C-alpha cells in the first residue's frame, strides 16, 4: 500500500503540511487532474496510508483517522491575462504578510523562510488591475526544487499555486485551504523569472473561492488551480501554539 510522509520543512501552519504541497504529493501518485479535499490539517512527519476506493476516489488516512480525500476532476478555469514581471515585482512589495502573517514559516509564502528553504512567493495587489482585482508576485525557483533535469518538481509547481489564492481572498482574516484542484501543463525551469497570480472568484459566509496561475518568463501559462478557502470558526485553535 502506498504511503505519504510530509517532512516538517514543508509546513503551512507550524504543525501541519502546506496544503498545496500536500496536494502536489498526492497528485504525483496519479497521472490525472485531482481535486484534493483536506478533512483535517495534514500532519507532519507521519505516515499516511493512500487508500484507493471505487470510481477513482482516494483517501489519505492516519490509521482510522481520515485526513484527506482526492477525486478525479476536470479544471475548467480561465486565467486573466497576467501582469508583466515588473508589475508583479512592485505588487510583491505590498504583500500583507510582511507586516502581519499568521504563519511566517509557511513553506510557500512565509517571510521567515530563506531563499534555499522556501518558495518565498509574496503576492500583493496589482494596483493597475481591478477587473478582476488580482494579486501577483515574482518567483525565481531555486536549485533545491530541481527534479533532476533543470525543471521544478511538479509538487512544487502545485505548492506555488496555493498561497496566492489566500492572498487574493483574505481580508486580514485567518483562512485555511479546504480544497484544491490543480493542473500543471508544464514545469518551469530552475532560476527562471516566473510570475504567480491569484484572483478572487466568489465568496459566501466563511467559504471563499480563488483562482491561481503560474506563468513562465515569456508570459506563457504553465499551471493553474482553483481553491476553496475556509475561515475557521475558532481561529485560536490554529494560532494558540504559535
pLDDT digit string, tens, across residues 159-215: 999 999 999 988 667 888 999 999 999 999 999 999 999 999 998 888 999 999 999
> Distance (Å, rounded) from C-alpha 228 to C-alpha 201?
10
Q: Are 222 and 185 in contact (CB under 8 A)?
A: yes
Q: What is the DSSP string of 146-206?
A: B-SSSBB-HHHHHHHTTHHHHHHH-SS---EEEEEEEEES-PPBTT--EEEEEEEEEEETT
- Convert the pLDDT of each residue in 92-145 to its tens digit: 999 999 998 989 999 999 999 998 999 999 999 998 887 788 999 999 999 999
Cα pseudo-dihedral 184, 5, 46, 3, rounded to 10: 100
Q: pLDDT at residue 226 above 90?
A: yes
Q: pLDDT at residue 224 above 80?
A: yes
> Distance (Å, rounded) from C-alpha 192 to C-alpha 91?
19
Q: Interior CA angle at 114 toward 110 and 119, to 5°? A: 55
Residue 235's pLDDT band, with cuts at 50, 70 and 90, is low
Sketch out the chain's domains with CATH numbers. 3-72 (3.10.129.10), 85-239 (3.10.129.10)
Amino acid at each position: 500500500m502506498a504511503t505519504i510522509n510530509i517532512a516538517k520543512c514543508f509546513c503551512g501552519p507550524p504543525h501541519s503540511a502546506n496544503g498545496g504541497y500536500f496536494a502536489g504529493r498526492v497528485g504525483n501518485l496519479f497521472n490525472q487532474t485531482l481535486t484534493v479535499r483536506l478533512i483535517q490539517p495534514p500532519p507532519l512527519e507521519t505516515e499516511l496510508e493512500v487508500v484507493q476506493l471505487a470510481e477513482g476516489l482516494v483517501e489519505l488516512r492516519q490509521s482510522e483517522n481520515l485526513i484527506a480525500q482526492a477525486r478525479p476532476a476536470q479544471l475548467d478555469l480561465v486565467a486573466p491575462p497576467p501582469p508583466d514581471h515588473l508589475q508583479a515585482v512592485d505588487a510583491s512589495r505590498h504583500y500583507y504578510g510582511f507586516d502581519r502573517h499568521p504563519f511566517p514559516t509557511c513553506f510557500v509564502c512565509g517571510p521567515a523562510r530563506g531563499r534555499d528553504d522556501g518558495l518565498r512567493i509574496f503576492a500583493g495587489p496589482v494596483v493597475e488591475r481591478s477587473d478582476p482585482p488580482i494579486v501577483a508576485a515574482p518567483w525565481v525557483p531555486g536549485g533545491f526544487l530541481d527534479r533532476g533535469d533543470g525543471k521544478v518538481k511538479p509538487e512544487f509547481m502545485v505548492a506555488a499555486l496555493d498561497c496566492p489564492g489566500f492572498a487574493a481572498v483574505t481580508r486580514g482574516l485567518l483562512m485555511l485551504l479546504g480544497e484544491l484542484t490543480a493542473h500543471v501543463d508544464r514545469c518551469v525551469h530552475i532560476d527562471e523569472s516566473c510570475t504567480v497570480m491569484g484572483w478572487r472568484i466568489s465568496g459566501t459566509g466563511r467559504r471563499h473561492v480563488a483562482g491561481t496561475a503560474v506563468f513562465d518568463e515569456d508570459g506563457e501559462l504553465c499551471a493553474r488551480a482553483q481553491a476553496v478557502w475556509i475561515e475557521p470558526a475558532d481561529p485560536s485553535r490554529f494560532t494558540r501554539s504559535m
